[in-house]
């Protein structure tokens, strides 16, 4: 029997990329997965795949710009599944902008989705996580560790998420709840395309990224999902407050 058999896992951003692969991984390991994102159609597609593989899944369309949607995600999970063992905050957005041209609206949206929503979901889920002795894994970024030009708000939002992870981990460590984060480098997902990058530009970006990651390649959503799964598993039972770099060595390099 898998170490995650019967555990209830909420995954945001599950309609694509790291969130999609993470939900699949937990379901394949026997967890009951609650998948959340704005696109119900994509969530239903994922749910059908999980069910084809014999997994258990609940679909919960969620707009992380709305507090009531986040409240419903946690409450409906508890109402339908009776417990909550793991929260994976995988949803996020990226956008370009500098200190000179970033609008307050763009700032507020980025901070809401990348930082405030993980904060509020952790807060909402905490009583259940304390009861289950569960844990949280946040999906941050190498930009939380290192500074990059032209993506000001994204960098700030992820650095804030890293510090949120560390501070919250200390707050609840004595209650048996662990909170960690992963900091991926460039991973092949829809993140940049959703921010407006077309196929040609994205292809060039991925090719260039091979030169900015010392291991000479970009990452895959499945690699991120494996680390998230490990951090959520009992095998990581003595790990908390960690922001774990998963970036082919990129955080160790100077700008180029």
pLDDT of amino acid 131: 98
Phi then psi dihedrals of residue 151, to 5 deg: -135, 50
Q: Would residue 244 show up in a list of annotated catalytic residues for this protein?
A: no
pLDDT of amino acid 201: 74
CB-side neighbour CA atoms (13 Å) of 162: 20
Count of all residues that appear for the chain in the document: 256
CA–CA distance, 89 with 107 (Å, rounded to integer): 19
Sequence-distant (6+) residues with CB within 8 A of 176 are 130, 133
Whole-prediction pTM: 0.93
Of the residues 154, 202, 229, 244, only one is catalytic, namely: 154
Domains by residue range for the chain, with CATH: 8-247 (3.40.50.720)
Alpha-carbon separation of residue 87 from 51, 129, 183, 204 (angstroms)? 21, 9, 17, 34
Sequence-distant (6+) residues with CB within 8 A of 13 are 19, 36, 37, 89, 90, 91, 92, 139
Other Cβ atoms less than 10 A from the Cβ of 26: the count is 32
Phi then psi dihedrals of residue 75, to 5 deg: -65, -40
pLDDT per residue, tens digit, the chain (256 aa), is 689 999 999 999 999 999 999 999 999 999 999 999 999 999 999 999 999 999 999 999 999 999 999 999 999 999 999 999 999 999 999 899 999 999 999 999 999 999 999 999 999 999 999 999 999 999 999 999 999 999 999 999 999 999 999 999 999 999 999 999 999 998 886 665 565 566 777 677 678 778 788 898 889 999 999 999 999 999 999 999 999 999 999 999 875 5
Alpha-carbon separation of residue 166 from 111, 125, 136, 197 (angstroms)? 18, 17, 11, 32
Q: State CA 196 to chain mean position distance.
A: 20
């Amino acid at each position: 029997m898998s170490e995650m058999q019967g555990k209830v896992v909420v995954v945001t951003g599950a309609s694509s990329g790291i969130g999609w692969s993470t939900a699949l991984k937990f379901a394949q390991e026997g967890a009951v997965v609650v998948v959340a994102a704005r696109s119900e159609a994509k969530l239903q597609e994922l749910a059908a795949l999980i069910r084809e593989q014999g997994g258990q899944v609940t679909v919960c369309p969620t707009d992380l710009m709305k507090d009531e949607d986040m409240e419903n995600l946690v409450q409906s999970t508890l109402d339908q599944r009776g417990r909550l063992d793991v929260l994976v905050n995988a949803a996020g957005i990226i956008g370009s902008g500098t200190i000179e041209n970033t609008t307050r609206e763009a700032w507020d949206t980025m901070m809401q989705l990348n930082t405030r929503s993980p904060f509020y979901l952790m807060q909402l889920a905490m009583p259940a996580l304390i009861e289950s002795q569960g844990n949280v894994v946040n999906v941050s970024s190498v930009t939380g560790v290192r500074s990059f030009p032209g993506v000001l708000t994204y960098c700030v939002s992820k650095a804030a998420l890293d510090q949120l992870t560390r501070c919250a981990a200390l707050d609840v460590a004595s209650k048996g709840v662990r909170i960690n984060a992963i900091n991926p480098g460039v991973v092949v997902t829809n993140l940049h395309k959703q921010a407006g990058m077309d196929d040609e530009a994205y292809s060039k970006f991925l090719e260039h990224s091979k030169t900015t990651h010392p291991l000479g390649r970009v990452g895959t959503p499945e690699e991120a999902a494996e680390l998230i799964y490990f951090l959520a598993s009992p095998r990581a039972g003595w790990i908390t407050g960690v922001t774990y770099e998963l970036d082919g060595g990129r955080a160790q390099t100077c700008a180029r």
